Amino acid sequence: MHRVQSIEEARTQLSVKGFVVLRGFFSASETRALRELSDEMSSEAQCILRSSCGAGTPLSERARTNKTELIVVAERHDPERVCRYEYMLGWCSTFKSWVQASISEVVSEAAGCDMTVFKDKTNEKSPGGGGFGPHQDFAAYMHFQPRSHLTAMLSVDSATRENGCLEFAANFNRVVSEDPLAVLEYVQSQPLLKFKADDACHGDILDEISQSFAWTPVESKAADLVLFDSFAPHRSACNRSRYPRRASFVTFVPGIGDEEYERYYAEKRANYDDPKFHVSTPTSYRS
């Protein structure tokens, strides 16, 4: 497959570890195009945040009323700094074409069925920007219909230990088999772990479970494609470097067409403050 390894190998790694890194997957022209698109989207997100702060209009209201623009979320400790923006495919048709040309096929091959985009996001992680608590993405998606998801992470900027790269729980399956009480429920035979529901860490896996994980940092460069499923526990530290660490995430679900994407974003625009949209994310909207 695709310049790196066989699709069978990628599928095996996904089913055993919940994630796989396809090193050198993207060509130089693909990474250049991604960076240019990201620069454009980051600056648009910054404009939206600035104008929202200037006008005193909450970002939630902006998302609800401006249905075709990027959805922007500010950092918890700095309301003038972008933490994350979403609705990239909806806002930028060039990014949508880039996704279709560069990753849709490999995601469907890795999943073994046709996959369509469910949601997207870019985490800006500016210098000093917040880390993400240990979580499974399914905790954020469980209120929507799809039961399985495959996320493609795009390293717009190289992700390192210093700037807060993703960390995955390498021994996840062993911990679950040794501690059945860690599981809240099984979803199509995948374990959803118990997570915090009511406090400032909404979505974080309970400490006594996440502390038994062997966290493996996964550094990645712009040419690398990281795929992970929505049950793979992951986290990331805050950015201790002097430069931003942008990472984009495009989450796919089984199916074809844009319906799942439109449904997700209609719900998000209507209920921006709902904690399910801020799982383990360093924003002030965590309940």
Ligand X SMILES: O=C(O)CCC(=O)C(=O)O
CA distances from 223 to 35, 38, 75, 111, 159 (A): 11, 15, 27, 21, 11
* Total residues at interface with ligand X (CB under 6 A): 10
Helix ranges (H only) for the chain are: 7-17, 28-55, 59-65, 88-91, 93-102, 104-111, 138-141, 172-178, 207-210, 259-270
- For the CB of residue 123, give the shortest distance to ligand X in the complex, in Å: 4
Choose, by CB under 6 A, the member of 236, 248, 254, 265 that binds ligand X: 236
- For the CB of residue 139, give the shortest distance to ligand X in the complex, in Å: 10
- For the CB of residue 72, give the shortest distance to ligand X in the complex, in Å: 15
Burial label for 120, CB within 10 Å (0-12, 13-18, 19+), is: buried
Nearer to ligand X, 140 or 223 (CB): 140
- For the CB of residue 256, give the shortest distance to ligand X in the complex, in Å: 25
Show the CA angle centred on residue 202, arms to residues 232 and 169, nearest 5°: 25
Choose, by CB under 6 A, the member of 10, 45, 74, 247 that binds ligand X: 247
- For the CB of residue 54, give the shortest distance to ligand X in the complex, in Å: 27
Choose, by CB under 6 A, the member of 87, 132, 272, 277 that binds ligand X: 132
State which residue has the least CB distance to ligand X. Answer: 236
**Pairwise CA distance, residues 204 & 194, whole Å:** 9
Nearer to ligand X, 55 or 120 (CB): 120
Nearer to ligand X, 51 or 211 (CB): 211
Q: Considering the rule CB under 6 A, would residue 129 count as an interface residue with ligand X?
A: no
At 116 the three-state DSSP class reads strand
What is the contact mask toward ligand X in residues 149 to 178, using x (rule: CB under 6 A)?
---------------x-x------------
Cα-trace Rg, the chain: 18
Nearer to ligand X, 176 or 250 (CB): 250
The string of DSSP letters for 232-256 reads: S-EEE----SSS---EEEEEEEESS
Q: Considering the rule CB under 6 A, would residue 123 count as an interface residue with ligand X?
A: yes
Interface with ligand X by CB under 6 A: which residues? 123, 125, 132, 137, 164, 166, 234, 236, 247, 249
